[in-house]
Structure 1
Amino acid sequence: MTRLTQYARGGGCACKIPPGELEEVVRGLTGAAPRDPLGELLVGLDHGDDAAVVRIRDGVALIATTDFFTPVVDDPFDWGRIAAANALSDVYAMGGRPVVAVNLLSWPRGVLPFELAAEVLRGGLEVCAEAGAHLAGGHSVDDAEPKYGLAVTGIGDPDHLLRNDTGRPGVPLSLTKPLGIGVLNSRHKATGEVFPQAVAAMTALNRDASRAALDAGAVCATDVTGFGLLGHLHKLARASGVTAVVDAAAVPYLEGAREALRDGHVSGGTRRNLDWVRPHADLGAVSEDEALLLADAQTSGGLLVAGEVPGAPVVGELVPRGEHVLVVR
């Protein structure tokens, strides 16, 4: 098998631009309203939420997002499935339903055969079909590194969205997928070992978790991807004006995650995540290794919901804003 992960410096959501650097790039890009817009912008760049949302008429909001990345696994079909599930997740994280998506493909055409690219696209098509979303067309470029993802358009109820700035004190935090995807993917890239439990987690849609959160009355959520649990929770707590308390012992992990950490399979993205949140967090109750797992850069992770979601573990709570934005106990 061609080892796709060897054709990229990073892998999956671990190849994202670090959150602190990204915030500097987009600083000042808010507030420029378009002329004669067709809808009301409900969610934009202000708090770094998972997708943009525009109210286009009473009871209907348009949700738009995009996500793509370098290979996170060597199997091209699985990579396509993972990338598609990850891109669709941003719509689910806002409480919406994906309607249509288009492919985004970068391919080193002189290095890797197009038969592999076709498998990547087939994987994306299968997941979009499962999600009930049309996959129609897209865009491709000749690139030194292979990259794949989707641009996705969905719809939602503008009065029943999941946002990252609506968290309130006294609400528990639920996590709908275990952590550890990042360290297992790093081990896969380094050794070629295959971890079916990680692939299963990454290809699982967040559709049911999103519906369950809405049915439970939740109004605040985010998905856990490249910035890790701590990074995404930091953004949620900061936007909501609260402190997030994490019960480290309650956080679930995939089998093999701790062994991968022990053996040093930690991405640079994970270390940058921890460095970013450290000045705003009280991490004194946990070891450095535990903090790294909590900051582990996930690819197509679960939803982090302010509220109780049936079947999902409660991993912490939101409390009134204190000295720190994050507290891990």
Structure 2
Amino acid sequence: MIQQTEIYKLTQYSHGAGCGCKIAPKVLDRILHSNSGALSSAGFPSLLVGNDSRDDAAVLETGHGEAIISTTDFFMPIVDDAYDFGRIASANAISDVYAMGGEPLLAIAILGWPLDKLPPEVAGQVLEGSRAVCAEAGIPLAGGHSIDSPEPIFGLAVTGKVRLNHLKQNNTAVEGCCLYLTKPLGVGILTTAQKKGLLKPEHADLAPDQMVQLNKFGSFLGKLPYVRALTDVTGFGLLGHLIEMAEGSGLSAEIDFDKVPKLAVLDEYLAQKSIPGGTHRNWDSYGDKVADLPDERRFILADPQTSGGLLIAIDPGSAREFEQVALENNLSLKSFGHLVEKREKVIYVI
């Protein structure tokens, strides 16, 4: 973390935070719908994945069994420290390449900065954080574009590559698949507590430490044939991204709330009404697709995540082998649910 003589708390300069800034799924559907119907990849046969499948990134076949992955992600500060903001935003953007089973190649920075409120040196610290994470991912921060904006904004456009037989998508699961999540939920709750001044000092590093972790495991998952579907969990919360996976695959999902990975301190902050606005927007968009759910569970399962974990659907007969492979990659994972035949609701929580 870079030292600065004057402390600028970045979250005080924006109305939203992290992936909680994302436009709600229902509103996004209206934006992406053109007069001639939903935007599609018609006329571009090499475009293997476009926005018609609601996947994490675009994928363009380049020949010889390979494809290019292209994605972008940016948002307003979710932490006060500029260096950490750059790290988190970068890990979050690069994650979309990993979520396709690919490997990142290079990144381009996207920067909006309120020059009348924050000095350019603080923006420089954001970029330093980004360079550090890009270096960890083994890629250059190769350029970018900046504007003078009312609120601080930062993110990346990332280019990656993938072998076609390693490409993973979010809509290719099959009935019986076991579900796994590589990071616990609750980032939105803790960062909202921080913004409200409620976060205890001993909990201050829980969310940032998790958000800067790269989802490099995704590149390895691309090589495993029993990984049937893959995505990452970000602003729509676990429920939103699981709905995309289940609906896209023509299925429903059953999950065990007690087995869903969660940060251990969430109840304390939920009791103080530390609930992001994005949680309510998420639920308004897709709550009708979820079977009856108590508020305290809804607030966790619809909590918008920033740089969240990978949501993985595994062939049921390969669950034990997958858990051993995950352990060898320093991840202790247990299934929290499975995909079932299509029912009246998309998600059932027990």
Short-chain TM bin: over 0.9
Question: How far did residue 30 of structure 1 move?
Answer: 2.5
Contact map agreement 2:100 2:222 (CA 8 A) in 1 = no
Aligned with 1:281 (options 279, 290, 294) = 290
**Paired residue secondary structure (1:293):** helix
Question: 2:238 — aligned with what?
Answer: 229
Contact map agreement 1:181 1:257 (CA 8 A) in 2 = no
For 2:160 and 2:16, the matched residues in 1 are separated by: 29
Aligned with 2:346 (options 299, 303, 325) = 325
Question: 1:262 — aligned with what?
Answer: 271
For 2:225 and 2:167, the matched residues in 1 are separated by: 13
Aligned with 1:22 (options 8, 17, 28) = 28
Question: How far did residue 219 of structure 1 move?
Answer: 2.9
Q: Deviations over 1:207-262 (max 9, x none)?
A: 02441464363130110000000011111111110001111110121132221212
Question: How far did residue 136 of structure 1 move?
Answer: 0.7
Relative to the length of structure 1, the TM-score reads 0.95
Contact map agreement 2:111 2:155 (CA 8 A) in 1 = yes
For 1:67 and 1:57, the matched residues in 2 are separated by: 27
- My pick for the range that moved more, 220-229 or 183-192, is 183-192
Question: How far did residue 281 of structure 1 move?
Answer: 1.3
Aligned with 1:316 (options 329, 332, 337) = 337
Contact map agreement 2:174 2:228 (CA 8 A) in 1 = no
Which runs of 4 or more aligned residues in structure 1 lie more than 4 Å from their structure 2 counterparts after TM superposition?
Answer: none
Aligned with 2:96 (options 86, 90, 95) = 90
Question: How far did residue 54 of structure 1 move?
Answer: 0.7
For 1:41 and 1:273, the matched residues in 2 are separated by: 29
**Paired residue secondary structure (1:282):** coil
Contact map agreement 2:181 2:333 (CA 8 A) in 1 = yes
Contact map agreement 2:166 2:222 (CA 8 A) in 1 = no
Q: Deviations over 1:157-203 (max 9, x none)?
A: 11221101101101100000000001001111111746212111100
**Paired residue secondary structure (1:219):** strand
For 1:48 and 1:31, the matched residues in 2 are separated by: 11
Contact map agreement 1:168 1:318 (CA 8 A) in 2 = yes
For 1:178 and 1:108, the matched residues in 2 are separated by: 33
Which structure 2 residue ranges, 5 or more long, are not aligned? 1-6, 327-331
Q: In the alignment, residue 166 of structure 1 is paired with which amino acid?
A: T
Relative to the length of structure 2, the TM-score reads 0.89
Question: How far did residue 31 of structure 1 move?
Answer: 3.3
Question: 1:292 — aligned with what?
Answer: 299
For 2:19 and 2:79, the matched residues in 1 are separated by: 12
Which structure 1 residue ranges, 5 or more long, are not aligned? none
**Paired residue secondary structure (2:166):** coil
Contact map agreement 1:65 1:153 (CA 8 A) in 2 = yes
Aligned with 1:304 (options 297, 311, 326) = 311
